[in-house]
């Protein structure tokens, strides 16, 4: 019987993470540290003896490159991969590309904190976490989960907020709980699921 394997990994540090910029749907590449983190994610998965049947990622290069670099380390280049904007990072709208300190000067620290840390208040022209969940969750339920339950060993390389959507369902978290959940860059989280899609076991490979 298959162990119904699902591994989630947030992309490695991007150039804009390094520069303290709101990124969202903007498309910067990985920083040097991010490249190292992506490779290390692959090495950690290989050390666990894991291989995969299929991968999913967003349409943004920082997630795609993280996946590619990890797969090189695992020895699985050429793994069938599906890219979809449903797995994109939360869209920060008018904040995208701004330095976080500059945004605080423009709108005030309290307002920026509300946009970043509330569940359902979007920044101007952007998405709230609730909006991000509304796009990522149906994709998970319809496209990713059925394969996992059929025994397809699945790797998902995506973003902090789109992965929170999946974790919210997997771990049955409330909106308040998911807001407090931090995901380290390049650190795989390994889930094995029961036949009813609940979590049988979880292993977080954050250092």
What pLDDT score was predicted for residue 117? 86
Residue 137: Cβ within 10 Å count? 16
pLDDT of residue 58: 98
Quick one: pLDDT band at residue 179, thresholds 50, 70, 90? confident
Q: Stretch 53-78: mean pLDDT, rounded? A: 98
pLDDT confidence of residue 2:
66
Tokens of 153: 């060993």
CA distance 108 to 121: 15
Topology (CATH level 3) of domain 5-204: Rossmann fold (3.40.50)
User: Span 75-104, mean pLDDT?
Assistant: 96
For residue 165, the model assigns a pLDDT of: 87
Average confidence (pLDDT) over 60-86: 97
Average pLDDT, the chain: 95
Cα–Cα distance, 101 to 111 (Å, whole number): 12
Active site residue 11: yes
Annotated active-site residue in 11, 40, 73, 127: 11
Helices (H), the chain: 15-18, 32-47, 61-74, 100-107, 109-117, 129-139, 145-149, 160-170, 175-179
Give the global pTM.
0.95
- Sheet order of strands, 154-158 included: 81-83, 54-57, 154-158, 5-10, 189-193, 199-204
Annotated catalytic residue: which of 37, 40, 73, 89? 89
* Total residue count of the chain as it appears in this document: 207
Determine the Cα–Cα distance for residues 6 and 142; give it in Å rounded to an integer: 15
* 89 is an active site residue: yes
Q: What pLDDT is attached to residue 206? A: 87
Residue that wins the pLDDT comparison between 180 and 128 = 128
> What pLDDT, on a 0 to 100 scale, did the predictor assign at position 203?
96
Distance, CA of 34 to CA of 85 (rounded, Å) = 21
Summarize the confidence of residues 35-44 as an average pLDDT: 98
In percent, the amount of the chain with pLDDT more than 70 equals 99
Confidence bin at 3 (pLDDT 50/70/90)? confident
pLDDT of 207 over the 70 cut: no
Is the model more confident about 116 or about 125? 125
């Amino acid at each position: 019987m298959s162990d119904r394997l699902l591994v989630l990994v947030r992309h490695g540090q991007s150039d804009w993470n390094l520069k303290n910029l709101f990124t969202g749907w903007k498309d910067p590449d990985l920083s040097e540290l991010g490249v190292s983190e992506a490779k290390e994610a692959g090495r950690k998965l290989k050390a666990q003896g894991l291989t995969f049947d299929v991968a999913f990622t967003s349409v943004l290069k920082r997630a795609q490159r993280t996946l590619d670099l990890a797969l090189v380390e695992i020895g699985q280049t050429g793994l069938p991969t599906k890219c979809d904007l449903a797995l994109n990072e939360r869209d920060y709208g008018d904040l995208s590309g701004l330095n976080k300190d500059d945004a605080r000067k423009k709108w005030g620290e309290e307002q920026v904190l509300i946009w970043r840390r509330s569940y359902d208040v979007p920044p101007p022209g952007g998405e709230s976490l609730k909006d991000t969940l509304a796009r990522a969750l149906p994709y998970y339920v319809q496209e990713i989960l059925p394969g996992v339950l059929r025994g397809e060993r699945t790797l998902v390389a995506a973003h902090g907020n789109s992965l929170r959507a999946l974790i919210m369902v997997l771990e049955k978290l409330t909106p308040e709980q998911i807001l407090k959940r931090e995901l380290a860059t390049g650190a795989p989280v390994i889930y094995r699921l029961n036949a009813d899609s609940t979590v049988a076991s979880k292993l977080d490979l954050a250092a």
